[in-house]
């Protein structure tokens, strides 16, 4: 059993975590004592949160997807069946389980069943390719993988590409049919709920990586559920409200700001869409009298510009949360007059810190800032490149520390050394202006592309394209795009030069289309496949002879 468990601290697999050192998040015992004394960490767990909802509102509607609608009590039964099936597959207390499911009731059943068992979800996105799933399997102790058995072209390919890991016994797969899930559960015993300490690792959350591939973010029950309660304090999601979940369910924004877990905490019902685009979102808002939804900027802009919008009754919506990437002031200004909704900008990160524009802020604050830190215990520093604090109102690098911000990634000592200060501040990589308690994002210092809220490490895309036998070198950059904010552009030097008709045999006939197809088939996430590929003979160089990504951004 030990080889399957995810240790609390940064210990090697198989060695027992030492609870007297530091928590999974890197919080010290002193931090823990302080956050408990302040009342931020309460000892609550995700399983207890779910139990309270089931006990409080058993016959109220909990969630709806395109296959079914469940009450909290029916959801609880589904969770029990899921726990039985997962346990039968070998998932035990402490086991790491990669979850790659579309937005669905099945997703809720899976994650709450894992928390019931005291297992550790390792979250991935439905759009992730097999390359990312392989990375999670290699860099976390997860030996289980839960995904969908419902027909899905992308995920079917991912499952096929993972078959060698399954054949080698390195990954145990549980595929669940979203319409008739957990077949066979009736004959299986339902394991008791595990008694789990609230300061233990609850799951590994995703981060858009800055170094090649996504890094895993260790979150505990204590710190994460505090972030959910703190979100609810500054949001207006209440019992009886209807939350539309259109962004990927496992994303930190969707999960916790205030998100799915906020809905479980207050007893709001959850409507799952599988896509945030207007043709999917608008009918669901009208049909289910949706009161709240979260969108990334491109989805909001598509909705603002959608020609048939007026034929839907959108009057039930009170608040739209928009975050993940910078929302333009122009789009922000249109929300109230054109949709009649209250806009709450959300600037968050899976590593922790979340900022919201207050519901009662002035219009100018709502449309020009990315909000205020949601907790009084969030510590904010804005510094220059020498880590010296800059005066208020001056752009600088945002550093943060607090009761729900990690102080280290899961087992990544080198990344940790550059992503955190010695005294535990997270280097967000965002360039901000901090003025009168509000943060405005003005730029980015990290090597990351933000494609409409999806974070992509250029290096991850470069590494995949470099495996093509006809490719000599690759440089990937983000270029401005009206809708997405940024698109991915790959400059590729084919072996033997850009004239592929006359080049090296391995590069013969290479075209941008073929390279994009290659990237997709090599297992790259659908959102990380380059939007533009240019075949070139050389890259622009900087004065010191490095590839000038600035010049490539045009
Ligand atoms: P991640 O660390 O992958 O969870 O991504 C978080 C990053 O997304 C932040 O550090 C910002 O760069 C970006 N981000 C999130 N929300 C916003 C927002 N409202 N405005 C600008 N950037 C944002
Ligand atoms: O982009 C993000 O990671 C994000 C955006 C808004 C986030 O993690 C959040 C809110 O909690």
For the CA of 453, the closest atom of ligand 2 is 1
In tens, the pLDDT along 246-280 reads: 999 999 999 999 999 999 999 999 999 999 999 99
- pLDDT confidence bin for 10, thresholds 50/70/90: very low
Looking at the CA of 354, name the nearest ligand. 2
Sheet containing 96-100: order of strands: 172-176, 144-148, 96-100, 120-123, 201-207, 215-220
Q: Tens digit of pLDDT for each residue in 313-336?
A: 999 999 999 999 999 999 999 999
Element housing 485 (H / E): strand 485-494
Among 122-126, 343-347, 545-549, which stretch is predicted with the lowest mean pLDDT?
A: 545-549
Q: What is the dihedral of CA 96, 403, 45, 233, to 10 degrees?
A: -130
Residue 95, classified by CB atoms within 10 Å of its CB into exposed (0-12), middle (13-18) or buried (19+), is buried
**DSSP assignment letter at 198:** T
Pick the closest to residue 527 from 229, 276, 353 (CA basis). Answer: 276
The pair phi, psi for residue 236, each rounded to 5°, is -110, 30
Ligand 2 centroid, distance to 219 Cα (angstroms): 14
pTM: 0.94
Ligand 2 atom with the smallest distance to the CA of 257 is 11
Closest residue to atom 5 of ligand 1, CA basis: 349
Average pLDDT, the chain: 92
Centre of ligand 2 from the C-alpha of residue 471, in Å: 35
The candidate with the shortest Cα–Cα distance to 319, out of 349, 352, 361, 283, is 361
**Closest Cα partner for 322 from 485, 168, 532, 88?**
485
Q: State which ligand 1 atom lies nearest to the alpha carbon of 350.
A: 4
Question: Which residue did the predictor score with more confidence, 324 or 140?
Answer: 324
- What share of the chain has pLDDT > 70, as a percent? 94
Alpha carbon of 131 to ligand 2 centroid (Å): 23
Sheet holding 242-245, edge to edge: 69-71, 61-64, 269-272, 242-245, 292-295, 319-323, 342-349, 352-356, 372-373
Ligand positioned closest to the Cα atom of 217: 1
Expressed in angstroms and rounded, the spacing between residue 46 Cα and the centre of ligand 1 is: 25
What pLDDT sits at residue 209?
54
pLDDT at 192: 96
Kindly state the average pLDDT of the residues 232-240: 98
Using most ligand atoms within 8 A of CB, pick from 347, 366, 428 the residue to mutate for ligand 1: 347
CA distance 116 to 69: 22
Count Cβ atoms below 10 Å from residue 148 Cβ, excluding itself: 21
Ligand 1 centre to CA of 248 (Å) is 15
Structure tokens at 163: 């078959």
Give the pLDDT band (50/70/90) at residue 306: very high
Q: What is the pLDDT of residue 275?
A: 92
The pLDDT score that the predictor gives to residue 6 is 55
pLDDT 10s digits, 76-120:
999 999 999 999 999 999 999 999 999 999 999 999 999 999 999
Distance from the alpha carbon of residue 367 to the mean position of ligand 2, in angstroms: 18
The predicted structure's pLDDT at residue 20: 40
* pLDDT score at 5: 53
The answer, yes or no, to whether any atom of ligand 1 lies below 6 A from the CB of 124, is no
Distance 420 CA to ligand 2 centre (A): 19
Evaluate: CB of 349 within 6 angstroms of ligand 1: yes
Q: What is the pLDDT of residues 457-477, one digit of tens each?
A: 898 899 999 999 999 999 999
pLDDT recorded at residue 213? 57
Residue 448 CA: which ligand 1 atom is closest? 12
Q: pLDDT for 44-68, tens place per residue?
A: 999 999 999 999 999 999 999 999 9
The Cα 252–Cα 351 span in angstroms is 9
Kindly tell me if the per-residue pLDDT of 199 is higher than 70: yes
| Ligand 2 pocket list (CB less than 6 A) | 252-253, 256-257, 323-324, 346, 348-350, 354, 453
How confident is residue 211, by pLDDT bands cut at 50, 70 and 90? Answer: very low
CA gap 379, 401 in Å, rounded: 5
Cβ contact 266:233 at 8 Å: no
Q: Which residues does residue 121 pair with via DSSP β-bridges, in sequence order?
A: 97
Our mutation pick for probing the ligand 2 site, out of 232, 324, 325, counting the most ligand atoms within 8 A of Cβ, is 324
The response to whether residue 80 sits with its C-beta less than 6 Å from ligand 1 reads no
Encoded tokens for 138: 């290699």
Phi/psi at 263 (nearest 5 deg)? -65, -40
Is ligand 1 within 6 A of the CB of residue 207? yes
Q: Ranked by mean pLDDT, which of 18-22, 24-28, 488-492, 521-525 comes out on top?
A: 488-492
Residue 2 has pLDDT above 80, yes or no: no
Chain segment 374-400, per-residue pLDDT in tens: 999 999 999 999 999 999 999 999 999
| Atom in ligand 1 nearest the alpha carbon of residue 252 | 4
- Side-chain half-sphere of 455: how many Cα atoms within 13 Å? 26
| pLDDT per position as a tens digit, 482-493 | 999 999 999 999
Indicate which atom in ligand 1 lies nearest the CA of residue 322: 19
Cβ(365) – ligand 1 distance below 6 Å: no
């Amino acid at each position: 059993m030990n080889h399957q468990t995810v240790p609390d601290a940064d210990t090697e697999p198989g060695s027992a975590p030492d609870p007297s050192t530091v928590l999974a998040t890197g919080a010290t015992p002193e931090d823990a004592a302080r956050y408990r004394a302040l009342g931020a960490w309460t000892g609550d767990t995700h399983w207890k949160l779910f139990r309270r909802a089931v006990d409080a509102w058993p016959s109220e509607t909990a969630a709806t997807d395109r296959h079914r609608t469940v009450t909290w009590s029916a959801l609880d039964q589904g969770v029990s069946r899921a726990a039985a099936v997962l346990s039968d597959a070998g998932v035990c207390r402490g086991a790491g389980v990669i979850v790659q499911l579309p937005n669905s009731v099945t997703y809720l059943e899976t994650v709450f069943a894992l928390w019931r068992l005291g297992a550790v979800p390792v979250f991935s996105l439905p759009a992730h390719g097999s390359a990312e799933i392989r990375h999670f399997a290699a860099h976390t102790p997860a030996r289980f993988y839960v995904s969908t058995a419902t027909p899905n072209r992308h995920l079917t390919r991912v499952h096929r590409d993972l078959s060698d890991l399954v054949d080698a016994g390195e990954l145990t797969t549980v595929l669940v049919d979203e319409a008739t899930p957990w077949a066979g559960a009736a004959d299986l015993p339902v394991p008791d709920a595990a008694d789990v300490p609230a300061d233990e690792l609850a799951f590994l959350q995703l981060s858009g990586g800055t170094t090649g591939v996504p890094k895993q973010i260790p979150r505990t029950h204590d710190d994460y559920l505090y972030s959910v309660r703190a979100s609810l304090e500054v949001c207006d999601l209440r019992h009886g409200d209807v939350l539309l979940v259109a962004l990927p369910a496992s994303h930190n924004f969707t999960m916790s700001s205030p998100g799915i877990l906020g809905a479980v905490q207050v007893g709001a019902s959850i409507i799952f869409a599988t896509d945030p685009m207007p043709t999917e979102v608008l009918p669901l808002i009208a049909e289910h009298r949706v009161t709240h939804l979260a969108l990334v900027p491109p989805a909001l802009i598509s909705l603002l510009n959608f020609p048939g919008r007026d034929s839907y009754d959108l009057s039930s919506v009170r608040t739209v949360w928009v975050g993940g990437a910078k929302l333009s002031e122009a789009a922000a200004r249109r929300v109230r007059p054109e949709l009649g909704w209250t806009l709450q900008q959300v600037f968050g990160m899976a590593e922790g810190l979340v900022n919201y524009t207050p519901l009662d802020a002035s219009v100018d604050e709502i449309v020009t800032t990315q909000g205020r830190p949601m907790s009084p215990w969030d510590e904010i520093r804005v510094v220059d490149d020498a880590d010296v604090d800059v005066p208020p109102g001056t752009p600088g690098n945002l550093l943060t520390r607090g009761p729900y911000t990690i102080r280290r990634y899961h087992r990544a000592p080198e990344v940790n050394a550059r992503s955190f200060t010695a005294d535990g501040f997270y280097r967000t990589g965002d360039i901000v202006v901090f003025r009168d308690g509000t943060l405005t994002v003005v730029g980015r210092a990290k090597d990351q592309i933000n494609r409409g809220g999806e974070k992509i490490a250029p290096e991850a895309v470069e590494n995949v394209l470099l495996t093509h036998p006809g490719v000599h070198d690759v440089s990937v950059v983000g270029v401005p795009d009206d809708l997405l904010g940024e698109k991915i552009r790959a400059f590729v030097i084919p072996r033997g030069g850009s004239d592929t008709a006359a080049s090296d045999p391995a590069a013969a006939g290479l075209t941008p289309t073929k390279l994009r197809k290659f990237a997709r088939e090599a297992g790259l996430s659908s959102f990380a496949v380059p939007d533009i590929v240019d075949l070139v003979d050389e890259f622009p160089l900087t004065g010191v002879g490095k590839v000038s990504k600035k010049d490539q951004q045009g």
